[in-house]
Amino acid sequence: MARRKDFVAAIDGLTLDDGVAAPLDEVWLTAERAHIRGCPNVTLQRFKRFESDERIASAPAWQRYLSAHRRCFAHLQMGQYGLVSRSLAEAEAALAKSPELQFYRADLDVLHAYLFELQGDFHRAYARIALAHESATSDQNWHRAITTASDAGRIALILQEPTKARDWYAIAETLAERHGSLSTRLAVQERLAALWKTIGRQADAARLYASVIAGCSDGSSPATLEAALTGRADLSFAEGDFASAEADYRSALAICESHDMRRHAIYPLKDLARLCLARDGDGDSDEARELFSRAVDIVFALEPSQPLHFMQLAEDILREPRFLGASLSSRTKDDLVATLSMVRELSRIQPYQQAARRHANAAAIRRLISLLQAIRSPTIRLASCVVRPLAQTVVSSSDAKVRRITSAQLEVLTYLLALPLHSASLLELEHDLNLRSPEATQKRVDRLRDAIGDDLQVATRGAICYYTVRTGLPDLRAKS
């Protein structure tokens, strides 16, 4: 662990040539630094540049392998599950050609397991992580052996097999004591505490959480500390001790904010929102909405966007509509359920029609984001009308006339509003929204124009029609 920290500090402080004629090693180091900094989109760009370099034939095998491995991980982070398989195949080919790289074979099994897990296929994820542990142990890759045992325990718990989970955590504990750093041992103890919490051994869980929190007091393991604080807060919450639970949730949130762990911050924010609704005191409903809104803002601000977080938001809203401060219409609820189911299904890797499924999945994710954006925004102000997505109504500024707008029309509207110029051609709409035909796309656009009137304008450039949404209405007082 100390060597890794030294390497991270060293690579982070390097001044690297980023020019066209940069040495190939520096091109690779620039990409590796993006990976270490947790920037998946930059990681992909940099490693693609490395792979396209005409000098790539001279690169050592370990650089080619790690390039493929890092791209796999970046695709996983970005929710581009359909592209993971291609990079995994490259990494596996690099391993097959280089016996000296067999030490890393467990890493690829781990990536396969993570992919299965993200797709909801926990049985295959469990089998693959167990295989990774066997490989890591055989190769004496002790860090990977510890983390795979811990992951196997976590997935066994998801599969509701606590006995198997406890066996795996016992293996992880033993290996961590022999070969792991302090931070690794604390991470294993936090996972074990989560097991005790799940199976009802609250006293044991509380004891372990306290030990982990004390062990992380030097600030060296912020992610483990945040998880332990959140776990202890869950225990207090379950016992009705809202004051202690709130204190720990807020401490966990403070750690996320002070260490720029934005994605981690989503969870204590939502936990605090749940706590406020459960406590139901003066002002708690308003605070719950504000906390949940902050979590939603983080999800929408993540770059690149994270499909998994949007799926979780949809599940949260369906489970607890009070987070929004308003009920969902039955039509909006049905659309959200159907779109969420579609994203889940299309996220699963299949051996056939992979390109078509990737395109359909991307369109389904855009539709899910569009629905959530519509739910998130109580009003969309256009040049001459106000759209109210939750109520699915449009109010004109001239006569306060109320018109209906469907979720399909809202999908087109929010797609156009997300573009820099609020403008797109019919072909772009058909492709990006995954519509059946030009005729179906034209019909949807025409119905949107019926709903928002002249706020959807048509301009012809050559033989191509472009549709543009007019915005800029400062305020509107209208009857709903």
Lowest-pLDDT choice from 45-54, 298-307, 308-317, 337-346: 298-307
User: pLDDT at position 3, please?
Assistant: 52
pLDDT tier, 176 (very low <50, low <70, confident <90, very high otherwise): very high
Q: What integer is the mean pLDDT of 286-310?
A: 87
Strands 423-425 and 464-469: antiparallel
Q: What integer is the mean pLDDT of 216-235?
A: 91
Residue showing tokens 């191509």: 464
Residue 422 CA to residue 429 CA, distance in Å, equals 12
* pLDDT exceeds cutoff 60 at 5: no
Q: Are residues 313 and 292 in the same domain?
A: no
- Identify which of 470, 373, 467, 370 has the alpha carbon closest to the alpha carbon of residue 428: 467
Q: Are residues 297 and 364 in the same domain?
A: no
The reply to whether 119 falls in a domain is: no
Residue 286 CA to residue 294 CA, distance in Å, equals 13
Q: Indicate the residue type of 127.
A: A
Instruction: Name, of 262-266, 434-438, 474-478, the range with top average pLDDT.
Output: 262-266
Q: Are residues 405 and 361 in the same domain?
A: no
User: pLDDT at position 393, please?
Assistant: 87
Q: Indicate the residue type of 252.
A: A
Residue 311 CA to residue 332 CA, distance in Å, equals 15
Instruction: For residue 396, give Cα distances in angstroms to 210, 384, 440, 455, 479.
Output: 58, 6, 26, 10, 10
In the three-class reduction of DSSP (H, G, I as helix; E, B as strand; rest coil), residue 77 is classed as helix
Token output for 396: 């004109």
The reply to whether 398 falls in a domain is: yes
In the three-class reduction of DSSP (H, G, I as helix; E, B as strand; rest coil), residue 381 is classed as strand
Residue 406 CA to residue 143 CA, distance in Å, equals 53
Token output for 283: 């002002």
Residue 310 CA to residue 81 CA, distance in Å, equals 15
Q: What integer is the mean pLDDT of 294-311?
A: 84
Q: What integer is the mean pLDDT of 263-281?
A: 94
Q: What is the pLDDT of residues 460-475, one digit of tens each?
A: 888 888 999 998 644 4
Domain count across the chain: 3
* pLDDT exceeds cutoff 80 at 94: yes
Residue 40 CA to residue 31 CA, distance in Å, equals 10
Residues 6 or more apart in contact with residue 194 via CB below 8 angstroms: 154, 157, 205, 227, 231
Q: Are residues 185 and 286 in the same domain?
A: yes
State the residue range of the domain holding 366: 304-376
Residue 406 CA to residue 332 CA, distance in Å, equals 9
Residues 6 or more apart in contact with residue 306 via CB below 8 angstroms: 77, 78, 79, 263, 299
Q: Which of 259, 286, 302 is the C-terminal boundary of a domain?
A: 302
Average pLDDT, the chain: 86
Q: Are residues 276 and 368 in the same domain?
A: no
The reply to whether 15 falls in a domain is: no
Q: Are residues 286 and 332 in the same domain?
A: no
Residue 337 CA to residue 372 CA, distance in Å, equals 12
Q: Would you say 455 and 383 are in contact if contact means Cβ atoms under 8 Å apart? A: yes
Lowest-pLDDT choice from 121-135, 246-260, 415-429: 415-429
> What percentage of the chain reaches a pLDDT higher than 90?
44
* pLDDT exceeds cutoff 90 at 442: yes
The reply to whether 254 falls in a domain is: yes
User: For the domain that residue 187 is a member of, what is the CATH number?
Assistant: 1.25.40.10
Q: What integer is the mean pLDDT of 135-152?
A: 94
User: For the domain that residue 422 is a member of, what is the CATH number?
Assistant: 1.10.10.10
Token output for 187: 């991470």
The reply to whether 130 falls in a domain is: no
pLDDT tier, 345 (very low <50, low <70, confident <90, very high otherwise): confident
φ, ψ of residue 406 to 5 degrees: the values are: -90, 165
Omega of the bond prior to 304 within 30 degrees of 0, cis?
A: yes
> What percentage of the chain reaches a pLDDT higher than 70?
92
pLDDT tier, 411 (very low <50, low <70, confident <90, very high otherwise): confident
The reply to whether 334 falls in a domain is: yes
User: pLDDT at position 476, please?
Assistant: 38
The reply to whether 285 falls in a domain is: yes
DSSP for 173-232 reads HHHHHHH--HHHHHHHHHHHHHHHHHTT-HHHHHHHHHHHHHHTTTSS-HHHHHHHHHHH
The reply to whether 94 falls in a domain is: no
Q: Which of 320, 346, 376 is the C-terminal boundary of a domain?
A: 376
Q: Would you say 17 and 26 are in contact if contact means Cβ atoms under 8 Å apart? A: yes
Residue 115 CA to residue 127 CA, distance in Å, equals 12
Q: Are residues 261 and 316 in the same domain?
A: no
Q: In the chain, what is the straight-line distance between the N-terminal and C-terminal CA atoms, in Å?
A: 60
Q: Are residues 430 and 448 in the same domain?
A: yes
* pLDDT exceeds cutoff 50 at 2: no
User: pLDDT at position 9, please?
Assistant: 61
Q: Are residues 289 and 255 in the same domain?
A: yes
Q: Would you say 384 and 473 are in contact if contact means Cβ atoms under 8 Å apart? A: yes
Element (H, E) at 155: helix 142-158
pLDDT tier, 479 (very low <50, low <70, confident <90, very high otherwise): very low
* pLDDT exceeds cutoff 90 at 201: yes
220 or 31, which is more confident = 31
Q: Are residues 336 and 233 in the same domain?
A: no
Q: Are residues 246 and 350 in the same domain?
A: no
39 or 52, which is more confident = 52
Q: Would you say 316 and 273 are in contact if contact means Cβ atoms under 8 Å apart? A: no
User: pLDDT at position 124, please?
Assistant: 87
Q: Indicate the residue type of 219.
A: G
- Identify which of 77, 103, 107, 80 has the alpha carbon closest to the alpha carbon of residue 91: 107
Q: Would you say 16 and 34 are in contact if contact means Cβ atoms under 8 Å apart? A: no
Q: Maximum Cα–Cα distance for the chain, whole Å?
A: 76
User: pLDDT at position 477, please?
Assistant: 36
Question: Which sign, positive or negative, has the C-alpha torsion 36, 38, 44, 46?
Answer: negative
Residues listed for the chain: 480
Lowest-pLDDT choice from 131-135, 191-195, 379-383, 455-459: 379-383
Q: Would you say 383 and 473 are in contact if contact means Cβ atoms under 8 Å apart? A: yes
Q: Which of 279, 302, 325 is the C-terminal boundary of a domain?
A: 302
User: pLDDT at position 467, please?
Assistant: 93
Q: Would you say 150 and 187 are in contact if contact means Cβ atoms under 8 Å apart? A: yes
CA 300 distance to own-chain centroid:
10
Helices within 259-403 (DSSP H only): 262-279, 284-301, 307-319, 330-346, 354-376
Q: Are residues 288 and 234 in the same domain?
A: yes
Question: Which sign, positive or negative, has the C-alpha torsion 409, 415, 416, 417?
Answer: positive
